[in-house]
């Protein structure tokens, strides 16, 4: 099993082969944990379609049944775990089909007796596609207080006795906050290699995840940011969102404040670091550094139940420009494509976009005042990060408040734009550009 956190309170699975008991046990666990959504989004029962009635607490629910893996993945694009209860004869083929679905991230294979060569093939395919296989011959896995695979951890009585319905401090064959517990097969070598690793000081880790896991399990830069900044493994849609923010903010041409400073510095013959920091130093409340304030003000206004009108007018009275609103070039009839792309991704992948929708309502109101008062990239990232923090189930309320108060989010723009500024420095050096002198007619001389 991966050493990073694989599941959260919003994780949903597709269950292959209709097995009423383990599915009902998953739903019972969900209810005990206080999950809002059932962890089984759909059942795949090859050849048959319809619904299966099960219980979510005391409420009877109908879980869709699909005739094929493809149909189930298309119907439930946010269900990224595939729990395979196929027999050993068909487990390998169905697991491979699941791994080939872009929406599936983790495949758990319960069957015993799957041929070793098939298993190796599945693991190799999963590794090269940044996916995770648990099993074959696994009892599953459990994320305390969040998600349970099938029958893992036994009866509900046992789960209550072990307090597995709420997050704890001990990990099970995985990293945790206070200790590492490893359960191995009798007679295995794992204990000895652990003792050896401890003697040698242990491999460098990012928030407890060893470097080798980061490479072997195909972590991306979004995962690394989630480990180093937020000290936890966020779900893939969150780390993908972080990566999209970085890609979209990497550059916005040579005319923006940061790039201009970098270009002038590079043309003055200065080195890479000087050119980079001279550009970075322009990032602030007007340029790129409005993300934290956008998150702070949108959160405060939404949480206090202010209407967009009340919010914007109260800001006006205080003489504060609404952070995340307004652009030098973009207009109501010429929107920022980056904002649209971020919104589209979030609408498809986030469980909730309530803060973003609020920011959109604010924009609708500001656009009635002036055509340049569009939501800008800072406003999009600020409001959507609030949705990520609130909707992922990975942060407590005090943690969200602390992140917003400290101000983590401008870091995304700083990190992203460094990529572009370094590129602008290299461009100037490669093109052997001479010392910059500003055209004198552009300057107003007054006596």
Residues binding ligand Q5B (CB under 6 A) = 252, 256, 286-288, 290, 321-329, 370, 372-373, 376-378
Which residues lie closer than 8 Å to 271 by C-beta, 6 or more apart? Answer: none
Residue 234 vs 290, nearer CB to ligand Q5B = 290
Minimum distance from residue 353 beta carbon to ligand Q5B (Å): 19
Minimum distance from residue 325 beta carbon to ligand Q5B (Å): 4
> Which residue is at the shortest CB distance from ligand Q5B?
326
Q: Where are the beta strands (DSSP E) in 301-370?
A: none
Residue 105 vs 424, nearer CB to ligand Q5B = 424
Residue 144 vs 291, nearer CB to ligand Q5B = 291
Minimum distance from residue 320 beta carbon to ligand Q5B (Å): 8
Residue 66 vs 330, nearer CB to ligand Q5B = 330
Minimum distance from residue 288 beta carbon to ligand Q5B (Å): 5
Long-range contact set of residues 398-403: C-beta below 8 Å, sequence gap at least 24? 403/230
CB contact at 8 A, 17 and 82:
no
Minimum distance from residue 270 beta carbon to ligand Q5B (Å): 22
User: Which single residue is written with the structure tokens 């460094």?
Assistant: 418
Minimum distance from residue 228 beta carbon to ligand Q5B (Å): 24
Residue 270 vs 321, nearer CB to ligand Q5B = 321
CB contact at 8 A, 33 and 166:
yes
Residue 1 vs 414, nearer CB to ligand Q5B = 414
Tell the burial category of 20 from Cβ atoms under 10 Å away from its Cβ (0-12, 13-18, 19+). exposed
How far is 241 from 232, CA to CA, in rounded Å?
A: 16
Residue 13 vs 356, nearer CB to ligand Q5B = 356
Minimum distance from residue 232 beta carbon to ligand Q5B (Å): 29
Minimum distance from residue 159 beta carbon to ligand Q5B (Å): 48
How far is 214 from 220, CA to CA, in rounded Å?
A: 8
First to last CA, the chain: 74
List, as one string, the DSSP characters of 33-70.
HT-SS-SEEEEE-TT--EEEEEEETTEEEEEEEESSHH
Residue 133 vs 322, nearer CB to ligand Q5B = 322
Which residues lie closer than 8 Å to 401 by C-beta, 6 or more apart? Answer: none
Using left for φ > 0, alpha for ψ between -120 and 50, and beta otherwise, residue 310 falls in alpha
Half-sphere exposure of 69 (CA within 13 A, CB side): 22
């Amino acid at each position: 099993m991966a050493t990073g956190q694989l599941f959260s309170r919003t994780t949903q699975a597709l269950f292959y082969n209709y097995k009423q008991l383990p599915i009902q046990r998953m739903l019972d666990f969900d209810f005990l944990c206080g999950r809002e959504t059932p962890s089984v989004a759909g059942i795949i029962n090859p050849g048959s379609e319809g619904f299966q009635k099960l219980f979510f607490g005391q409420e009877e629910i109908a879980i869709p049944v699909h005739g094929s893996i493809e149909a189930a993945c298309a119907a439930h694009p946010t269900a990224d775990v595939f729990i395979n209860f196929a027999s050993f004869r068909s487990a390998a083929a169905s697991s491979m089909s699941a791994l080939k679905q872009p929406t599936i991230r983790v495949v758990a294979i319960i069957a015993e007796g799957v041929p070793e060569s098939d298993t190796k093939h599945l693991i190799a395919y999963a590794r090269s596609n940044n996916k995770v296989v648990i099993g074959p011959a696994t009892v599953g896995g459990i994320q305390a207080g969040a998600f349970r695979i099938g029958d893992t951890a036994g009866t509900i009585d046992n789960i209550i006795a072990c307090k597995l319905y709420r997050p704890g401090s001990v990990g099970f064959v995985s990293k945790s906050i206070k200790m590492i517990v490893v359960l191995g097969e009798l007679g295995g070598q794992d204990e000895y290699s652990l003792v050896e690793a401890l003697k040698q000081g242990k491999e460098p880790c990012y928030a407890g995840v060893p470097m080798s896991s980061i490479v072997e399990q195909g972590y991306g830069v979004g995962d690394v940011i989630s480990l180093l900044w937020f000290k936890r493994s966020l779900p893939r849609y969150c780390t993908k969102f972080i990566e999209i923010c970085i890609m979209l903010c990497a550059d916005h041409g040579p005319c923006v404040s940061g790039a201009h400073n970098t270009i002038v510095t590079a043309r003055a013959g200065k080195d890479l670091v000087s050119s980079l920091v001279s550009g970075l130093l322009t990032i602030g409340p007007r340029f790129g550094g409005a993300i934290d304030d956008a998150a702070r003000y949108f959160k405060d206004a939404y949480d206090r139940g202010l209407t967009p009108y009340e919010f914007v007018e109260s800001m006006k009275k205080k003489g504060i420009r609404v952070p995340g609103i307004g652009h030098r070039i973009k207009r109501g009839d010429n929107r920022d494509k980056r904002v649209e792309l971020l919104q589209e991704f979030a609408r498809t992948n986030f469980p909730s976009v309530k803060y973003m929708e609020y920011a959109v309502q604010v924009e609708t109101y500001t656009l009635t005042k002036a055509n340049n008062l569009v939501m800008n990239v800072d406003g999009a990232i600020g409001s959507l990060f609030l949705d990520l923090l609130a909707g992922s189930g990975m942060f407590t309320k005090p943690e969200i408040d602390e992140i917003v108060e400290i101000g983590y989010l401008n870091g995304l723009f700083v990190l992203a734009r460094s990529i572009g500024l370094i590129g602008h420095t290299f461009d100037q050096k490669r093109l052997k550009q001479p010392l910059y002198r500003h055209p004198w007619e552009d300057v107003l001389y007054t006596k």
